[in-house]
């Protein structure tokens, strides 16, 4: 019976009458405090004239949303492309790392760790500021997509490796007993199982990629954030726009995370390496 | 046999409990005398574990009352903690504190709850560990011990509190077969020394050899209770007969 | 211009930049841990509204992109009657984001303890406060060393957001822009900053692993 009680509830046992009274009082006080906090925030909006309809009414217009949506499609385009590149590159890095070739393995290890330990912004500056000085100008789309993909590939290589490690040892031993080569074992036995295990983690890493794309304005790529900035200058409505955009990002990332948890739950695999998430 | 005239150490009167729709304990009436060994048996889901866990209020009840030494169980706070300190409990999954050494597991109660001097508590803990045969492991952590060893440590941890009664919630169900006896041996010894014990178990040999009384439960009710010989040789109810038939050959 | 020239020309700015990056990382991580503990206390409290508030707090700040939060602090808050310095804005944003992840780490540390140990502690008569002090806090701290090390490295990387606001001295990522706009040494500046980030991450990762080996709880 106790097995399906969450730890959250297990810390407190069923309250006796005194505890129940304390909890009731605490609940009342905390509701008052929370309401007061919300009221304070609303008051700050109100006294600074930020609740004025002129700052919010344009959200009722379809053109506003069409423009934001176009920006969001830009975000999605970058995120998906970067995600695919990062997956391919991460997979290659991982395969190199687990290969029997010592030199290749060492190189892939170093590259993986390097990409994991650099901020995506630094990589963006590399493609935006440094490379053009040598005469190579890439379109804005690739100036944001490539660095975001590189930063993610290091993490994904680790996610894939965790997936490979999660494949039971007996599977490899059985394949070896059949006389299969390292390459064949990896391709036919290990990878298919590992990929299945890491799917939820790949989805949750998409959140990191979406977050990384938000600095696309640095390279003037029209993503959600960049289009929001355009609208801000058009409507002179900074506060409302930045809050709405923040909520949009939160909603998308929350949904992605929930989807990843759902996938993990359905396939009964834990979301591995959530701890590797880079919250930039 | 214990003296039946004294006041029972544990009394349950008209105890009821629900989990949502499920009526897990139905009008339970049970008395346990001092020094008595009572074994609870029954099919899984019969409520025997829940019953055992209500005695130190790890599970609350909806209605009825439970008395320990004639006094109703406290509902919370210091009083409840003090009562629990007087009742030992051994769990199916051992539940040793993973971050503490074996010795620290045994001394935690005496030092933190009974405010005993650490040196004395450690000396006594070593005696208890020797008694259950794991003194050589005193400075290891639980994960380094076998299941049987961990369960014996869990018994020592309870004994260190000098309990007036002990609850065993399926103490051997999570053990590999070769380790069951090392735990049962310790329990037999405790019973022979006169410890009051309530034991939820599937070990019928233990029930037959050691207990004073067998309580058979099914669907949240006490169906029948009797001396072990009477119960095993002449079960009264159809449910008990079916149950005993189903476990024959085990 | 090579790496050596970058050092002779920009050496002292670079030194200040590295130190400032490290200091901001330390402040943000400490602040994030403190707020993360507070959020976790709310989330495991028996008081429902506080639990919900803690959950909402964590979901908001673990899902918001740091830039999105930063523009709110830098550009929107002044319209709402709070003007903070650029550095304060940056520190607040990183702390809020880090605290949400810290709380998630603490929650999984608490979940790893398991209901059984709590019941066992209760059964030997330990009070609620004793259970928290003797079982829950030590175990959850010791199981979260590795995730927290990863979070510390992530904090270091997140301070790169400082390049989006004017800071003196610029932090390591802003330095690339700083050097690039004053000379042709962009690539060298990039290499130096990259080495600083990677070097710091390697050292932090190494220390985290050592600490974890020491305190890890066998299960």
Query: Low-confidence residues of chain A, pLDDT below 70?
Result: 1-5, 269-280
Position of tokens 């809020």?
Answer: C96
Beta-carbon separation of A279 and C59 below 8 A = no
Residues of chain C positioned with their CB less than 8 A from the CB of B74: none
Beta-carbon separation of C135 and B89 below 8 A = no
Report how far apart, in Å, the C-alpha atoms of C50 and of each of A41, A247, C43 are: 18, 22, 7
Instruction: Give every CB contact of residue C137 below 8 A, 6+ residues apart in sequence.
Output: none
Which candidate in A1, A3, A19 is best for mutational testing of the B interface (most B CBs within 10 A)? Answer: A1
Beta-carbon separation of B50 and A1 below 8 A = yes
- Gap between the Cα atoms of A120 and A150, Å rounded: 8
> A13: distance to nearest CA of chain B, Å?
8
Beta-carbon separation of C146 and A275 below 8 A = yes
| Whole-number pLDDT of residue A272 | 58
H helices then E strands: how many in chain B?
A: 9, 10
Residue A179 DSSP SS3: coil
Q: Which of C113, C116, C124 faces B85 most closely, judged by CB atoms?
A: C124
Q: Which of B50, B59, B75 faces A16 most closely, judged by CB atoms?
A: B75
Which candidate in B87, B93, B99 is best for mutational testing of the C interface (most C CBs within 10 A)? Answer: B99
Strands B10-19 and B22-32: antiparallel
- Gap between the Cα atoms of C64 and C55, Å rounded: 14
Whether C79 contacts A50, CB under 8 Å: yes
- Gap between the Cα atoms of C139 and C145, Å rounded: 11
**Chains with at least 3 CB pairs less than 8 angstroms from chain B:** A, C
Say which range, A103-107, B60-64, B209-213, C2-6, has the weakest mean pLDDT.
C2-6
Position of tokens 């407190």?
Answer: A12
The 10s digit of each residue's pLDDT in C194-208 is 999 999 999 999 999
The 10s digit of each residue's pLDDT in C98-147 is 999 999 999 999 998 989 999 999 999 999 999 999 999 999 999 999 99
Tell me how long chain C is: 219
Residues of chain A positioned with their CB less than 8 A from the CB of C127: none
Please spell the DSSP secondary structure of B111-159, one letter per residue.
IIIS---HHHHHHHHHHHHHHTT-GGGTTS-GGGS-HHHHHHHHHHHHH
The 10s digit of each residue's pLDDT in A102-142 is 999 999 999 999 999 999 999 999 999 888 888 888 899 99
- Gap between the Cα atoms of B131 and A163, Å rounded: 46
Closest by CA to C176, choosing from C14, C5, C9, C2, is: C14
Say how many CA atoms lie within 13 Å of A191 toward its Cβ: 13
- Which domains does chain A possess? 68-269 (1.10.3720.10)
Residue B62 DSSP SS3: coil
Predicted confidence (pLDDT) at residue C1 exceeds the cutoff of 80: no
Report how far apart, in Å, the C-alpha atoms of B250 and of each of B172, B177, B180, B202 are: 15, 12, 14, 10
CB-neighbour burial class of residue C103 (10 A; exposed 0-12, middle 13-18, buried 19+): buried
Mean pLDDT for the stretch of residues C24-48: 95
Residues of B numbered 63-122 whose beta carbons fall under 8 angstroms of chain C's beta carbons: which are they?
78, 81-89, 91, 93-99, 108-109, 112-113
Which candidate in C1, C21, C25, C46 is best for mutational testing of the A interface (most A CBs within 10 A)? Answer: C46
- Gap between the Cα atoms of C149 and C91, Å rounded: 19
Predicted confidence (pLDDT) at residue B4 exceeds the cutoff of 60: no
Predicted confidence (pLDDT) at residue C7 exceeds the cutoff of 80: no
pTM over 0.80: yes
Whether B70 contacts B34, CB under 8 Å: no
Predicted confidence (pLDDT) at residue B250 exceeds the cutoff of 70: no
Check if C129 contacts B (Cβ < 8 Å).
Answer: no
**Chains with at least 3 CB pairs less than 8 angstroms from chain C:** A, B
Beta bridge partners of B18: B23
Q: Which two tokens stand for residue A126?
A: 């590399």
Mean pLDDT for the stretch of residues B132-155: 96
Check if A10 contacts B (Cβ < 8 Å).
Answer: no
Beta-carbon separation of B97 and C117 below 8 A = yes
- Gap between the Cα atoms of B131 and B195, Å rounded: 15
Mean pLDDT for the stretch of residues B132-152: 96
ipTM of the complex: 0.92
Q: Which of C59, C104, C110 faces A7 most closely, judged by CB atoms?
A: C110
Report how far apart, in Å, the C-alpha atoms of A14 and of each of A18, B149, B163 are: 11, 32, 24
CB-neighbour burial class of residue C218 (10 A; exposed 0-12, middle 13-18, buried 19+): exposed
Q: Which two tokens stand for residue A229?
A: 């900035």
| Whole-number pLDDT of residue A137 | 84
The 10s digit of each residue's pLDDT in C45-100 is 889 999 999 999 999 999 999 999 999 999 999 999 899 999 999 999 999 999 99
Q: Which of A3, A45, A122 faces C176 most closely, judged by CB atoms?
A: A122
Beta-carbon separation of A125 and C177 below 8 A = yes
Residues of chain A positioned with their CB less than 8 A from the CB of C177: 125, 129
Whether C216 contacts B141, CB under 8 Å: no
Phi, psi of B9 (to 5 degrees): -80, -35
| Whole-number pLDDT of residue A125 | 93
- Gap between the Cα atoms of A221 and A223, Å rounded: 6
Check if C5 contacts B (Cβ < 8 Å).
Answer: no
Check if A135 contacts B (Cβ < 8 Å).
Answer: no
| Whole-number pLDDT of residue A28 | 97
Find the residue in A nearest to B79 (Cα): A16
| Whole-number pLDDT of residue A277 | 45
The 10s digit of each residue's pLDDT in A164-187 is 988 888 888 899 899 888 888 888
Report how far apart, in Å, the C-alpha atoms of A133 and of each of A72, A126, A127, B171, C99 are: 31, 10, 10, 73, 39
Q: Which two tokens stand for residue C116?
A: 């059984």
Instruction: Give every CB contact of residue C1 below 8 A, 6+ residues apart in sequence.
Output: C9, C183, C184, C185, C188
Q: Which two tokens stand for residue B115?
A: 């405010």
């Amino acid at each position: 019976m106790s097995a399906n009680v969450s730890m959250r509830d297990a810390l407190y046992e069923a309250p006796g009458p005194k505890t129940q009274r304390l909890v009731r009082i605490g609940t009342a006080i905390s509701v008052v405090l929370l309401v007061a906090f919300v009221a304070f925030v609303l008051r700050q909006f109100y006294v600074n004239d930020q609740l004025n309809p002129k700052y919010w009414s344009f959200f009722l217009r379809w053109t506003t949303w069409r423009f934001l949506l176009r920006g969001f499609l830009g975000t999605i385009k970058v995120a998906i492309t970067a995600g695919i590149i990062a997956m391919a590159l991460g997979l290659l890095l991982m395969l190199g790392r687990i290969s029997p070739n010592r030199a290749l393995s060492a190189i892939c290890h170093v590259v993986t760790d390097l990409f994991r330990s650099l901020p995506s912004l630094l990589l963006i500056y590399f493609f935006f500021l440094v490379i053009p000085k040598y005469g190579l100008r890439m379109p804005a789309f690739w100036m944001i997509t490539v660095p975001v993909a590189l930063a993610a590939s290091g993490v994904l290589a680790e996610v894939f490796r965790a997936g490979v490690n999660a494949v039971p040892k007996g599977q490899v031993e059985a394949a070896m007993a059949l006389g299969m080569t390292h390459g064949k074992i990896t391709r036919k036995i290990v990878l298919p199982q590992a990929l299945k295990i890491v799917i939820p983690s790949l989805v949750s890493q998409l959140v990191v990629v979406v977050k990384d794309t938000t600095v696309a304005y640095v390279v003037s790529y029209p993503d959600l954030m960049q289009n929001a900035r355009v609208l801000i200058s058009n409507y002179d409505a900074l506060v409302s726009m930045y809050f709405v955009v923040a909520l949009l990002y939160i909603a998308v990332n929350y949904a992605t995370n929930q989807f990843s948890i759902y996938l993990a739950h359905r396939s009964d695999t834990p979301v591995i390496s959530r701890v590797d998430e880079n919250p930039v | 046999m214990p003296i039946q005239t004294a006041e029972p150490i544990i009394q349950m009167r008209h105890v009821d409990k629900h989990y949502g729709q499920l009526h897990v304990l139905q009008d339970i009436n049970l008395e346990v005398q001092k020094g008595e060994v009572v074994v609870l048996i029954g099919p899984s889901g019969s409520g025997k574990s829940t019953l055992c866990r209500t005695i130190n209020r790890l599970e609350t009840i909806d209605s009825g009352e439970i008395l320990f030494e004639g006094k109703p169980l406290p509902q919370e706070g210091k009083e409840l903690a003090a009562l629990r300190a007087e009742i030992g409990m051994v769990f199916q999954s051992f539940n040793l504190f993973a971050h503490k050494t074996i010795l620290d597991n045994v001394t935690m109660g005496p030092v933190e709850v009974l405010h005993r001097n650490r040196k004395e508590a450690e000396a006594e803990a070593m005696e208890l560990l020797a008694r259950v045969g794991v003194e050589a492991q005193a400075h290891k952590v639980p994960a380094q011990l076998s299941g049987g060893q961990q369960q014996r440590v869990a018994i020592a941890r309870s004994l260190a509190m000098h309990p007036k009664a002990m609850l065993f919630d399926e103490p051997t169900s999570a053990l590999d077969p070769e380790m069951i006896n090392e735990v049962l041996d310790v329990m037999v010894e405790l019973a022979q020394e006169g410890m009051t014990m309530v034991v939820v178990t599937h070990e019928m040999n233990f029930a037959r050899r050691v207990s004073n009384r067998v309580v058979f439960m099914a669907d949240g009710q006490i169906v029948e209770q009797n001396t072990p010989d009477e119960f095993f040789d002449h079960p009264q109810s159809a449910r008990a007969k079916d149950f005993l038939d189903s476990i024959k050959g085990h | 211009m090579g790496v050596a020239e970058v050092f002779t020309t920009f050496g002292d700015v670079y030194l200040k930049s590295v130190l400032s990056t490290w200091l901001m990382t330390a402040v943000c991580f400490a602040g994030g841990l403190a707020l993360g503990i507070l959020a976790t206390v709310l989330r495991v409290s028996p008081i429902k509204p506080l639990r919900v508030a803690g959950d909402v707090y964590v979901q908001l700040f673990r899902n918001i992109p740091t830039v999105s939060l930063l523009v709110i602090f830098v550009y929107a808050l002044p319209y709402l009657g709070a003007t903070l310095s650029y550095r304060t804005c940056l520190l607040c944003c990183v702390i809020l984001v880090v605290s949400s992840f810290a709380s998630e780490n603490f929650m999984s540390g608490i979940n790893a303890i398991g209901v059984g140990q709590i019941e066992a502690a209760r059964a030997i008569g330990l009070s609620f406060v004793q259970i928290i002090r003797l079982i829950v806090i030590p175990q959850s701290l010791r199981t979260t060393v590795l995730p927290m090390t990863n979070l510390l490295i992530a904090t270091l990387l997140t301070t790169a957001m400082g390049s989006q606001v004017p800071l003196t001295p610029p932090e390591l990522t802003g330095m690339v822009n700083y050097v690039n706009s004053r000379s042709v040494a962009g690539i060298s500046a990039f290499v130096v900053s990259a080495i600083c980030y990677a070097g710091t991450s390697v050292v932090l990762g190494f220390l985290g692993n050592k600490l974890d080996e020491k305190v890890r709880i066998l299960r």
